Amino acid sequence: MSTDIRATNDLQWLAELRTTLTDELEVQKTRLTELTDDTGDPAEDHTRTALLAATRQSVEQVSGALQRLADGTYGACEQCGASIPRERLEILPHARFCMPCQRRRNG
Ligand SMILES: [Zn+2]
């Protein structure tokens, strides 16, 4: 068994990240439920549609990150397979691509 300190720190960080993402998923799912409860106010429809789309996207992003954590593929770029720098993942935990690939995708 390796006793590499960096790997140990990574495992701890990943465990904390999983907890954070699980909490975040619950928050977003609760918000989604609240948003889909019809208040019957047409004036709210436009705002709520936008909020719903954003919240749905958050749920997808967070659950996708949790899935990758479970698969052991978390932190690898889906495009080129390179490791996504931890600094990037700390800012954007659901990042699926490294910076160069993300830039290419954005065009
Ligand atoms: Zn990449």
pLDDT of 15-47, one tens digit each?
Answer: 999 999 999 999 999 999 998 887 677 767 888
Cα of 81 from ligand 1 centre, angstroms: 6
Cα of 50 from ligand 1 centre, angstroms: 30
Residue with tokens 């928050």: 27
Cα of 86 from ligand 1 centre, angstroms: 14
Cα of 77 from ligand 1 centre, angstroms: 5
Cα of 76 from ligand 1 centre, angstroms: 8
3-class DSSP assignment, residue 33: helix
Average pLDDT over residues 81-105: 94
Distance, CA of 82 to CA of 73 (rounded, Å) = 11
Cα of 40 from ligand 1 centre, angstroms: 45
Question: Where would I find the beta strands (DSSP E) of the chain?
Answer: none
Which residue in 21, 3, 23, 7 sits closest to 86, CA to CA? 7
Query: Domain residue spans in the chain?
Result: 1-74, 77-107
* Phi, psi (rounded to 5 degrees) for 37: -70, 120
* Phi, psi (rounded to 5 degrees) for 2: -75, 145
Q: What was the pLDDT predicted at 1?
A: 47
- Reported as a pLDDT band with limits 50, 70 and 90, residue 2 is very low
Q: What is the pLDDT of residues 39-87, one digit of tens each?
A: 677 767 888 889 999 999 999 999 999 999 999 999 999 999 999 999 9
